[in-house]
Structure formats: C-alpha cells, structure tokens
Chain A
Amino acid sequence: MANRIIQLPIKGYSEGFPVGNQPPLTTGYINNVFPRGALEGKIKLTQRPGFDKAFSQQIGGSACPIVAMIQMTVLD
C-alpha cells in the first residue's frame, strides 16, 4: 500500500535554504518546467511550451536581434 505521496515541487526553484529544509513544494534542481499544464491549464508540473514563430517573416532579413517591438492601434 502506498503510504507516501511525494510532494512535487510545484512552486519551482529555491536555493535559499539547506536542501534538507527546502521550502515546501520547491526544489534545488529544475529546468524548463512550468507549473501549469499546456492546453488544459491545470496546475501540474509540465515541460514548458516551446518557442514558436508568431510571424513567419524574419525582421531585418537576416540573423540579427530584434531590438524593439510594440503594439499600435490604428483607425480602420
């Protein structure tokens, strides 16, 4: 009979305390994990969603950083 439920570190990363006294629901070793499941939106440990292109066009036409972006509202 399972008598121990392992507490998943749903509150993410913490390195401010001794490992033996880790704040509840935290861990000292985690990467690319989010606290909310994709699509259903439930609180659970899941791999983070990936980056995807919002627009297919490459700003600047080559591999140079995008330095500024903003939303603009215009009259129809």
Chain B
Amino acid sequence: MAVLYDAYNSTAGGVNPWAAYKFDDNNEWYAMVWNPDNAYNISSVKFLLKKTGDPGDITVALQATSAVVKDALPKGVDLVTGEISSGQVSTANYAWVSCDFSSAYALAASSSYSLVVKATGLGAANYYNWCGDTGGITPGEPSMTAAHMAYSNDGGSNWTAYNSVGPDDIDMSFETYGAGIAPTDKKYSKKWFALGNEELWYESTAGTMAEISDARGTISTANPLTIAEAFQKIFIANQSILKVFDSATIRLVTDELGTGSVSVPARKAILSGDTSGAGMVCDFVDAATGSAYVYGYQIGSTAFVSDDTVVDVDSTTSVSFSLITAPTDPPHYYNWTPYANDTTTYGSMPSSAYIVARYRGRVVLAGHPNYPHQWYMSKIGNPWDWIYGSTDPLTAVAGNNADAGELGDIIRALIPYGDDFLVFGCAHSIHLLDGDPAFSGTIDEIDSNTGIFSPWSWCKDGDGNLYFYGSNGLYKMSGGRSKPVNFNKAHLPLLCEKWAVNPSTHRVVLVFDIQRNAILISKTTLATGANEAYWYSIETEGFYPCSFPDECGVFCGNCYNADNPDYRASLYGSATGYINKFLDTAKNDDIGASDSAISSYVAMVEHLSDDEDNEGKATSATFVLAGGASGGDFRDSDNLICEFHIADDAETCLEDMRDGATAFLTIALVSAGRKPRIRTKIRGAYLGIKLINDVVDETWGINGIFMDVKSVGKI
C-alpha cells in the first residue's frame, strides 16, 4: 500500500487560504518543484483540483531539475508519467485527485524534482484550476528546501520560477505517494577461483568463469601448489613461484620512485592525485626504484588520471611521483614479494613453498624442499613483511626464531582454525599451534602415530570437525583439537591396503558436501583420472562406495557459499578441466561433451530360516519403488533389475552376486510405486537380492521390500 511521503496539502495557520491557478491554454504548463527529504519509490501523486466545462485529460510528468536551489526548473525529460482523466475532476468542488504513474520511480534524497502538469482541450470555457498558496505564506510552506512553483506559457520551452519573497513565492498543492526503497544489505560478493593447465580462472560474473590472461604460463600446475585467500587476494604457492591475484586494488604506474628524492610510499599511506583529487590507501609497491607498480585501495569514486602527480597527503614524506598512464582497475596478477621488493627492510620470503594458508591475519608458508620442517608467517595483516625477530608483537615469525619452534617432521598440510589454532599435518605426526607464535604461542604434538597424506587430504565438516586421510586410513579430530581417531577400521579394515596410494601417482582428496552433510573421500590416479571413492555420510556414519568416469576424477574440491543460491554447492575440480557439482536431478555423469550412465547396484543377503540347518521358502516378494504414483510431487524411480540368488551360506550368496553368477530368477521392476507381487517360490538357506541399474538417463530409489517366508526342511 502506498504511503504519503512529501506534501504541501494544508494552509492551516497561514495568512491566506488556497488560491486557484487556472490553466486554460494547452501551452500553459505548471510545475511544482520540490526535493524529497528521503529516498523512496514514488508511485502516485495527488493535486487539489477543480474544473470548469469539459477540458481534456491532464498529463503529469515527473522530471528532474537543474539543481536544489530556488531557481531550479524542469529539465524537460520525463522520468515517468501518469494521467488524470477529465472525469476524475469535479466541476462542483475542489478535491484531491490522484494520478498513478506508469511505473514507480526511485527518488534520491535531497535531489530536486518537478511535477509538470499540462492538459489538452483547454480553452476559455474548458479549463482546470489547481490550488496553490498566494505567496508569502509562513508557516504552512512546504518544509522542503527550495520548493516552489514553476510556470511555462509556451509548452515547456521556457520556465519561470516563482520563488521570490512575497507574492511571487508560490507553492502548489501536492501529495506524493510511494514505497520505501528496500535496504541493500549486500556489500560483498563471493567469487570462485580455479587453477589448471597453467592458467588461472575466476568468476568474473556470477556463473561465468574467465581466464586471467596475464597468468597464462606463469604457473607450473604440474608441480605441487596450494592457494589461500586473504585480504581480497589469492596467494599462490607453487614452489619457487609465488604469485598474487588481487581483486581489490587499483594500479598506478610510475618510473620515478627512488629517483632524486622521491621516496617509496609507505604501506597504508594515503596517496592523492593533484589533478583528479582521487585518493587511495597504498597497499603494495613492487619495486623501490625505476619503473614500479603501486597498488592501493581507491577512496571514493573519483579516479586517478594520467596527468596526476601523486603525493602522500602526509606532507612530511617526500613521496611525489608522476603517472605514466591512466590507472588500471582490478583484478591484477603479480609476483608475491616483500614490500617494494626491499629485502633489507621487509625481509626475505622463503625461496620455495607449496603450502600456503591464512592464520590470525598472517599468511603462512611451508613446504620448502630443503627445509621441510620449517614454517614461515608474515607479519599480521601484512603479507609483504617477512622481517623476523622484531620486537613488534605483530612481527613476521618463522619456526627457527620462535619459542614455538620448528617441527621435527615434514610438514604436509596447514589447517587453520580461524584465529584460534593451526593444525600442522605432517608426514608421521600431527601438531597443533595454539595462539600466536610471536606472542606466547605453543606447538604441541597431538599424535605421533599418524600423519597426513597430502595438503588436499583433509576437510572440515559443518561443525568444525577435522577429517583427514592419514597413515592408517581415515581419521577424525573432533573440533580440530582432539586426538585423531580412526573411523574406517570397523567397516573398511583394508582401506589402506586396497588403495595402496602413493603421493607420486595418486591424489587423495577429501571434500565436505555442504548440502548433504557428507564427505567425499576420493583416490584419483594423477596420470589418468581413474578413481575410487567413498561417500561418508555424517548422519548415518556409513560408507558408500562410488565410482566416477575417469573424466570426473576429483583432483581438488571446496565448498562454495555463493551469494546466489543457484551456485551454492560443494564443487569438485575434475581431471578434464571442468568444475563439477552433484546435481540432484542429474541421472548421469557429465563427462564434458556427453553423459555417462551411472552404474549402481546394491545387494542384500537374507537368511530364510531361523535354524542354520534349515532352508526357508519365500513364496512371494513385493517391491515398492520410490515416487508414489507415477507423476505427482515425489520423484519417480525409473526401472530396476532385480536378481534373486540362492546359496547354503551367506558368504557364498554374496560372492555369487559380486562375481556375476547366473541368478536363480531375474525380474524387471518397472517405474514407481508398489510392484506386482512376485509369486515365484524360492527355496534355500540364504537368499540374495541384487538390485541393478546401469542405464543412461535413469535413476532409482526404493522404499521397501516385503516377503512371505517360512521355514521348511533341512539344507
């Protein structure tokens, strides 16, 4: 329902009552100029009107004006229009008459607008009277700054503002109606970022990935690498290649740093352009002398220009340099070095690292081939400062100069838990850094019996529990802090033996499925994408073997909490360059140019008698497939093949089903709902039921299996 926003609708308390302003010529246009106090979507207006005779319809046009001043006049461009039919206006009395605009229009607070009123079919005997004050009324004036009437007698070509003191200070009666503008809560956007085939891609617009062309060929994706997000940047650790993808800063170019008395701007210095008046907060400089890029966060919307001389607003510094070209908007891609590449002042980064993470505002590196036990952390809040051992509690810190100490095992994974603690997953042990290593933080060994397989072999669930593939299988650390507990031995006692993974030939990836509250544990052969996997349901605490086409072999994965729910999912990086997700409506696996059928099966072994020496006889079996009646709200199951197997012992029964032995009976279960009862009599000690579907574009679900069984004679 529309709400009254702005109005001049009462002369109560004023010196004079309403006066009638007549327009009896088609070229006589009136306008009421005003500026709204608040932003809102205007949808209709009302005026106090009366007519004489039978004039034509009135057109009301909302127009912008030149300025919020007493002289503001309509600009001549209709923003939105509405009509008042002649029939709405009384000949007997003045009345408030409503006009609906063709669509709502968003008014900005404190901007000036005009309501232009004009009509057709006007003449000496057919005209309108619009009420306004007679000028000079106080109080009763509209409270809006600079509100006034404007008049044109040439069809809007020229206007006169009635804004002077005294008789020429006229305001027309009006009311505006509309609805508030919904608040904008969104201040940030989520983007996805992926690396493959020596290329970097990012989500340039929602749902679309684009390549960062500057990065092509600069990264060796054949070598180990990990990435971490911090400060609206992606930090890439690719052994000796350390790179930054920067989504937030603008880039200035100069060749004057270090020349004469020109200093390098300090990080966080406020820089300003003398011509443009633009400003930025300096974040990073890639060189101290000569040609340099200066990266910073733009202040406001004014952009630097190529004519700018950029200075530090702190006049005590000697920062003043000219730009070579106009600034470049983000994103940017550049080498990750100490600030201004000045190792004397800002220390040296490790020459090689392939493990990176963010912890307590520090960017953390590990995985140097010559110092595999060593860890390195940048200064808090500053990924460009690596000078260790300063007395500043925010100082950069490394394992060999901190009380926390260097680890005695090879670091394979860095797993941060916010600002609280950091888990070091090592080759044969698990360690935990509590607190800040530069300020009383300590590193304790949590477990010396298991290590972690690789930087990709872990994930966290929605409750913050840590899962990883370690020396003896799968482990869970509750809350990320407690001693690792193996959780596969009961059901998968030979997991490690069967998988026989080797870091040089396999990748083991754990990914938390945020939608299904489960973990995909995948072993992928690096060369081919061939894979084996288990789906671990946190709800049922069960393991569900999976197999995917080689093209879908999982090489990495992560949860994407996208702004748009359509893109929100756990995503999996495949062997063939596609980013995949599990789609509930997908009956096949998308392998790129085509779809691959999903081969699914399940077997049950049922003892048909209560006596191990006796056989039983099943006289009927009923299957209920998912979906209820065909069609309807519930998803319908497609078809299933059902095999019945008989054996004298349970293990033979299962073995027959696994080995593809000929079934005693094979039945096709077609479509959803309860199936016709199977009345074939089946006698044996153990009955095996195997359900199979490997047909493209089919899926299935089952609600229940019911049988009529009785014990009969000896085996």
Chain A contact residues, CB within 8 Å of chain B: 1-16, 18-20, 22-23, 25-40, 43-76
Residue of A nearest to B687 (CB): A6
Interface residues of B, CB < 8 Å — how many?
129
**Smallest beta-carbon distance B126→chain A, Å:** 54
Most chain A C-beta atoms within 10 Å of own C-beta, residue among B191, B491, B529? B491
Q: Determine if B481 is an interface residue (Cβ-Cβ < 8 Å).
A: no
A47 touches B195 (CB 8 A): no
B586 touches A54 (CB 8 A): no
Q: Determine if B317 is an interface residue (Cβ-Cβ < 8 Å).
A: no
A2 CA to B618 CA, complexed, in Å: 10
Known: A35-B544, A73-B188. 12 other contacts (CB 8 A): A3-B709, A11-B540, A12-B544, A20-B651, A29-B602, A31-B600, A46-B700, A55-B209, A65-B573, A70-B228, A73-B190, A75-B189
Which of B198, B598, B605, B690 is the one whose CB lies under 8 Å from A22?
B605
A72 CA to B358 CA, complexed, in Å: 13
Q: Determine if B584 is an interface residue (Cβ-Cβ < 8 Å).
A: yes
A23 CA to B653 CA, complexed, in Å: 17
Chain B residues numbered 468-513 whose CB sits less than 8 Å from any CB in chain A: 489-494
A34 CA to B582 CA, complexed, in Å: 12
B706 touches A51 (CB 8 A): no
Q: Determine if B146 is an interface residue (Cβ-Cβ < 8 Å).
A: no
**Smallest beta-carbon distance A11→chain B, Å:** 4
B493 touches A52 (CB 8 A): no
A50 touches B199 (CB 8 A): no
A20 CA to B575 CA, complexed, in Å: 40
B658 touches A29 (CB 8 A): yes
Residues of B near A13 (CB, < 8 A) are: 491-492, 534, 542-545
B604 touches A7 (CB 8 A): yes
Residues of A near B233 (CB, < 8 A) are: 72
A49 CA to B324 CA, complexed, in Å: 55
A29 touches B654 (CB 8 A): yes
Ordered by A's residue number, 8 sampled pairs between the chains whose C-beta atoms are within 8 Å are A16-B490, A29-B657, A33-B602, A50-B587, A52-B586, A68-B227, A71-B562, A72-B202
A59 touches B209 (CB 8 A): yes
The verdict on A50 contacting B586 (CB below 8 Å), with A59-B577, A72-B229 known, is: yes
Residues of A near B580 (CB, < 8 A) are: 51-54
Residue of A nearest to B634 (CB): A40
Residues of B near A29 (CB, < 8 A) are: 601-603, 654, 657-658, 690
The verdict on A45 contacting B702 (CB below 8 Å), with A36-B516, A60-B198, A69-B192 known, is: yes
The verdict on A61 contacting B581 (CB below 8 Å), with A48-B598, A50-B590, A68-B225 known, is: no
Q: Determine if B248 is an interface residue (Cβ-Cβ < 8 Å).
A: yes
A72 CA to B551 CA, complexed, in Å: 26
B573 touches A73 (CB 8 A): no
A35 CA to B294 CA, complexed, in Å: 54
A18 CA to B222 CA, complexed, in Å: 44
Residue of A nearest to B649 (CB): A20
**Smallest beta-carbon distance B479→chain A, Å:** 23
Q: Determine if B541 is an interface residue (Cβ-Cβ < 8 Å).
A: yes
A74 CA to B231 CA, complexed, in Å: 9
What string of 1s and 0s marks CB contacts (under 8 Å) between B692-715 and chain A?
A: 010000011111111111100000
A34 CA to B534 CA, complexed, in Å: 10
Which of A39, A57, A58, A74 is the one whose CB lies under 8 Å from B191?
A74
**Smallest beta-carbon distance A50→chain B, Å:** 3
Which of B207, B569, B572, B704 is the one whose CB lies under 8 Å from A5?
B704
Q: Determine if B546 is an interface residue (Cβ-Cβ < 8 Å).
A: yes
A2 CA to B183 CA, complexed, in Å: 60
B540 touches A10 (CB 8 A): yes
A28 CA to B544 CA, complexed, in Å: 10
B600 touches A68 (CB 8 A): no
A69 touches B556 (CB 8 A): yes
Q: Determine if B26 is an interface residue (Cβ-Cβ < 8 Å).
A: no
**Smallest beta-carbon distance B182→chain A, Å:** 16
Which of A22, A36, A60, A75 is the one whose CB lies under 8 Å from B199?
A60
Residue of A nearest to B186 (CB): A76
Which of B199, B582, B653, B702 is the one whose CB lies under 8 Å from A19?
B653
Residues of B near A22 (CB, < 8 A) are: 605, 650
Residues of A near B701 (CB, < 8 A) are: 37-38, 44-47
Residues of B near A59 (CB, < 8 A) are: 194-197, 199, 201, 209, 573, 577-579
B582 touches A55 (CB 8 A): no
Which of B540, B543, B626 is the one whose CB lies under 8 Å from A46?
B626
A30 CA to B534 CA, complexed, in Å: 11
Chain B residues numbered 638-693 whose CB sits less than 8 Å from any CB in chain A: 649-651, 653-654, 657-658, 689-690, 693
B574 touches A66 (CB 8 A): yes
A52 CA to B587 CA, complexed, in Å: 10
What string of 1s and 0s marks CB contacts (under 8 Å) between B557-573 and chain A?
A: 11111100001010111
Q: Determine if B397 is an interface residue (Cβ-Cβ < 8 Å).
A: no
Which of B229, B553, B634, B690 is the one whose CB lies under 8 Å from A71?
B229
Residue of A nearest to B635 (CB): A39
Residues of A near B601 (CB, < 8 A) are: 29-33
Residue of B nearest to A50 (CB): B586
A6 touches B699 (CB 8 A): no
Listed from nearest, the 8 A-B pairs whose CB atoms lie closest are A60-B197, A66-B573, A50-B586, A12-B542, A38-B584, A64-B197, A46-B701, A2-B706
Q: Determine if B193 is an interface residue (Cβ-Cβ < 8 Å).
A: yes
Which of A14, A27, A47, A66 is the one whose CB lies under 8 Å from B598?
A47
Residues of B near A8 (CB, < 8 A) are: 602, 604, 702, 704-705
A73 touches B189 (CB 8 A): yes
A35 CA to B707 CA, complexed, in Å: 22
**Smallest beta-carbon distance B690→chain A, Å:** 7
Which of A11, A14, A47, A65 is the one whose CB lies under 8 Å from B577?
A65
Residues of B near A27 (CB, < 8 A) are: 602-605
B555 touches A66 (CB 8 A): yes
Residues of B near A65 (CB, < 8 A) are: 196, 221, 526, 529, 553, 555, 573-577
B657 touches A33 (CB 8 A): no
